[in-house]
Amino acid sequence: QVHLQQSGPEVKKPGASVKVSCTVSGSSLGELSMHWVRQAPVKGLEWMGGFDPENDETIYAQKFQGRVTMTDDTSTDAAYMELSSLTHEDTAVYYCAASTRRGYILHYWGQGTLVTVSS
Amino acid sequence: EVVMTQSPATLSVSPGDRATLSCRASLTVISNLAWYQQRPGQPPRLLMYGASTRATGIPARFSGSGSGAEFTLTISSLQSEDFAVYYCQQYNYWPYTFGQGTKLEIK
C-alpha cells in the first residue's frame, strides 16, 4: 500500500519561497513518478508539473516555469516542490500525486499541505 | 493546453437514484481520461482511468464511458458517501488538465 506523507502547513510572506516535502512509504520513490497539483480555496485542481517517463525529465506547467522546482531524493524516498516569489494568489493546498514509474495515471495522493501567503 | 469542460456544475440527486456526469475535452484525448472524487477536506481519490477502468477498491456502482472528446461518469444507486465533487482529468497531453468539477449534492 503506497502512502504519501506531506509536510505540515506553512505561512509565508509575499516574495518568499516555500518548499513542501512528500515522503513515500510502502514503495520507493524510484518506483514512482511524482507530480504536484494545487487547489486554491474553493477552487478546482491545477497541475503544476511532474515527471515525464517517456523523456525522463520533469515537465512544468508554463504558468509556473521559472518559479517552481521539483526534485527527488531517492536516498530518503522524499520528493520536494519549491515555489518562489510567492504572492497571495499562491495561497492553496498543495498535493503530491504519484503514478507508477512508467505510467501517467495519478493513483496515489498525499494528504495535502496548506500554504498561506500573507503579509 | 487541452481545456476540460464538465457539466453540470452542480447536480442534485436523491439517494438511491442514478447520477450522470459529463466531461468534454477541447481536443481528442483518446481514452487517456481519469475521474476523481473529492470529499470536503480530503485529497482527490482516483475512481476511474482509461475512461472506463475502475481503480482499486472502487465499487461497481461507478462506471465510466466515452472516448475521443466526450466522456461520462455514471453512479448508479447513489449512497450517502457519494455526495462529493467529481473531477475529470486528461493525461494524453502535457500539461495535464482538469475539469472545473461537478458537485453532486443531495436532493
pLDDT tens sequence across A78-97: 999 999 999 999 999 999 99
Residue whose C-alpha cell is 452542480: B10
Substitution target in B3, B96, B97, B102 with the highest count of A β-carbons within 10 Å is B96
CB atoms within 10 A of CB B73: 28
pLDDT tens sequence across A30-63: 999 999 999 999 899 999 999 999 999 999 999 9
Residue A91: per-residue pLDDT: 98
Name the residue of chain B whose CA is nearest to A51's CA. Answer: B94
What is the three-class DSSP state of A53? Answer: coil
User: In this complex, do B46 and A107 lie within 8 Å of one another by their Cβ atoms?
Assistant: yes
DSSP category for residue A93: E
CA–CA min distance B101, chain A (Å): 7
